[in-house]
Amino acid sequence: MAEVSQSRLIAGTPEWLEPGLRRVLAPNPSPLTGPGTNSYILGEGRVAIIDPGPGHPEHLEALLGALAPGERVEMIIVTHAHHDHSELAPHLASRVGAPVVAFGDASAGLNPAFAALGNLGGGEGADHAFQPDETVADEAVIEGPDWRLQVIHTPGHFGNHICLAWNDVVFSGDQAMGWSTSIVSPPDGDMTAYMTSLDRLRALNARRLYPGHGAEVLDAEARLRELVDHRRGREAQILAALQQGGGAAADLAARIYTDVPPGLLPAATRNVFAHLLDLEARSLARASSEDRLRARWEPV
Ligand SMILES: [Zn+2]
């Protein structure tokens, strides 16, 4: 495992991470969110809030309480339209009078090829009510008086996902975290795009990652390399299972994920399915019928 710092991670209590950066942990711990969602307050005086978090009234009060007297929120930036990141955005916006900035709504940035593939299941956690006031494109620069962010559009976990580079660190949302791998569940999730997005993050040569969940990642390159290796290893297992007779996504997951409790197999199946669609796009696997969710998959 790459090194991950052990910080205090107490919900609602602002924590200074470095000059110009505070983190406020939301009170939504779960197997999918880890300790909860990280909201970041960037700058001092006229600040940006990155990922306001889930729609919990106490988290709204915690964010407002984390501001110093006279401090003003200039902008609310949302990494992606999953409820646990975006839901509080309109409520915070109406309290502080700042615009909500994101790549787009929950349908933005999706793989257009997936629309032609029929029902792919998925859709977990998407905030379809989310509407940014302003949209930002890939490589856009967002600036405040004492901070400057570069937007990197990083679809893969979610179509409208962005990472934000600040000095030599990156706010990595749910694209890259220290404590867990990312969920990639089609059609919102796209394994082909996810791998490309990891490569783009690696090219930034960031020192540290500030993820959407869990503690900061102190060695960004080591963790990103580990995430790439993990996915390539999983892909190799799936290709081997296809060579050994193939099967439906659920069958392949049961054969590959022999060490997970049965309750986690549906999530593992979503992950295998994402890999299968990626292998199909690369002409390395094909489904025996149009109903890819249930189809038998075989090697090409
Ligand atoms: Zn997410």
Give the model's confidence band at 8: pLDDT under 50 very low, under 70 low, under 90 confident, else very high: low
Domains of the chain: 15-226 (3.60.15.10), 230-299 (1.10.10.10)
Residue 2: the pLDDT is 41
pLDDT tens digit sequence for 232-269: 999 999 999 999 999 999 999 999 999 888 888 999 99
Q: How far is the CA of 158 from the centre of ligand 1 (A)?
A: 7
CB-CB contact of 48 with 74 (8 Å)? yes
**Burial of 57 (C-beta count, 10 Å sphere; 0-12/13-18/19+):** exposed
pLDDT for 7 equals: 52
Interval between CA 249 and ligand 1 midpoint (Å):
22
pLDDT tens-digit profile of 107-143? 999 999 999 999 999 998 999 999 999 999 999 999 9
Asked if the model's pLDDT at residue 9 lies above 80, the reply is no
Q: For residues 24 and 36, what is the distance between their CA atoms, to the nearest angstrom?
A: 10
- The rounded Å distance from CA 82 to ligand 1 centre is 5
What is the mean predicted confidence (pLDDT) over 173-199?
Answer: 96
pLDDT, tens digit (0-9, with 9 covering 90-100), for 33-61: 999 999 999 999 999 999 999 999 999 99
- How far, in Å, is the centroid of ligand 1 from the Cα of 174? 5
Confidence band of 68 (pLDDT split at 50, 70, 90)? very high
CA distance 22 to 37: 14
Enumerate the H helices of 57-143 as residue ranges: 57-66, 83-86, 89-96
The pTM assigned to this predicted structure is: 0.95
- Give 184 Cα–ligand 1 centroid separation in angstroms: 9
For residue 298, how far is its CA from the centre of ligand 1 (angstroms)? 30
pLDDT of the residue at 264: 86
Structure tokens at 13: 């209590």
Please give the distance, rounded to the nearest whole angstrom, from the Cα atom of residue 197 to the centre of ligand 1: 15
Q: Scanning the structure block, which residue is given the tokens 């998959």?
A: 297
Indicate the pairing of strand 38-42 with strand 46-50.
antiparallel
User: Within a 10 A sphere around the Cβ of 159, how many other Cβ atoms?
Assistant: 26
Q: Tell me which residues have their CB within 5 A of the ion that is ligand 1.
A: 82, 174
Report the separation in Å between the CA atom of 55 and the middle of ligand 1, taken as the mean of its atom positions: 14
Indicate if the pLDDT at residue 1 is higher than 70: no
Question: Strand pairing of 134-135 and 100-102?
Answer: parallel
How much distance in Å is there from the Cα of 5 to the middle of ligand 1?
22
Is residue 274 predicted with pLDDT exceeding 90? yes
Q: How far is the CA of 98 from the centre of ligand 1 (A)?
A: 23
Q: What separation in Å is there between the alpha carbon of 288 and the centre of ligand 1?
A: 31
Q: Is the distance from CB of 107 to CB of 56 less than 8 angstroms?
A: no
